[in-house]
Chains A and B, each alone.
Chain A
Amino acid sequence: MMTVAQLNSIRDRVRKELLIREPHNRLVVGVGTVGIAAGAREIMAAAMEVVNTLGLDMVVVGEDLSVPAEQMPVVRFIGADGEEITFTSVTASKIREIVKDLADKVGTAENA
């Protein structure tokens, strides 16, 4: 027999996975050819890891962002309300801090 509490716990767990299909807050990593050469894939991995550990209501997206090559790798936060913040010359350690700083703004997936 399944209890209502068990049903809710499945719902909450899987809902987090499905946030990808209905994102509220997005963290866009510039992954064009230059971005990848500058290490965007590592940054993306690091960002996803922190988002996952903190259980944030935010999805990490790869897009070809156009910024001057010397500013790569680039990351842009796009909030549910349309707010945009762009971070340039990002590194793997920097992105961890960036995500942690955004945590309050986006909240957790639990409360999404």
Chain B
Amino acid sequence: MDEKKCAGCSSNTTTDPRYQELAQVIEQYRDMEGALIMVLHRAQEIFGYLPEDVQKIVAKELDLPLSEVYGVTTFYSYFSLKPRGKYRIAVCLGTACYVRGAAELVSAIEKELGIKVNDTTEDARFTLEVSRCIGACGLAPVMTINDDVYGRLTPDKIPEILAKYE
């Protein structure tokens, strides 16, 4: 098995520490009204995305129909149902970035990585996404790679930046 690609989706829920962490999170939020979205945020932090079995656990533990959980995870763009790469590139397509050429950045990254938006590279290193305004309009166009923000970008700076992420 290619370990890099394996997201551990069929792993044993009793021994995998991530599931224990999830159980703790659910316990913490159980009595809170309208806890679902907050629990899903934390679950996504733990797993990197929201696999089906995690959604099932959340539904069962919060005593909600799975359809409702799935309804919420698919409604909000922040939640991902697909495993993502080690590094999440998000190019801001807010207005300020758009008028300063963000679309050209997207093409440059697509070309550099050989993937399209919402895809992940073969080696599971990068996922390319586009995001809504992140509010760094003063530095437009911008992109984020995980928690790092890059501003005042031009397409020719892309290869150098991506090379920093192994």
A and B touch in their complex, CB below 8 angstroms: no
Which residues of B come within 8 Å of A, CB atoms?
Answer: none
Using CB atoms and an 8 Å cutoff, list the residues of chain A in contact with chain B: none
